[in-house]
Amino acid sequence: MSEPIKVTDQNFQSEVLESPVPVLIDFWAPWCAPCRIVAPAVESIAQEFSGVLKVGKLNTDENQMTAMEYRIMGIPTLGIFVNGQMVDQIVGAVPKQHIVEKLKYYLQGAAVKN
């Protein structure tokens, strides 16, 4: 059973930027109602894509440096990272299927060129 990992300013480099697999980061905050709406989808994706995708959650209230660095202006924002770069993002509470469709594009490597 794979759950989203807790990502912080301190471990962002090792957990996300240096990850050998693509990473989905949920930029969220405890007070954010839309964040609570999208959370079950993020947790489900972590289980379904275990082994091919790393899923993490970054609390923007506690980790403002990383949120500012990636210009996270609204939450929830789901950032998709491939080879240490944020290649896409989804802003707002969206259906799980929308997230999965975007992820499949990057997991197939269609947009990733080294």
Whole-angstrom distance, CA of residue 51 vs CA of residue 46:
9
Residue 85 a catalytic site member? no
Marked catalytic residue, from 25, 35, 55, 75:
35
Cα-based distances in Å from 82 to 9, 21, 32, 103, 111:
18, 7, 27, 11, 9
Residue 35 a catalytic site member? yes
Marked catalytic residue, from 23, 32, 78, 90:
32
The residues annotated as belonging to the active site are 32, 35
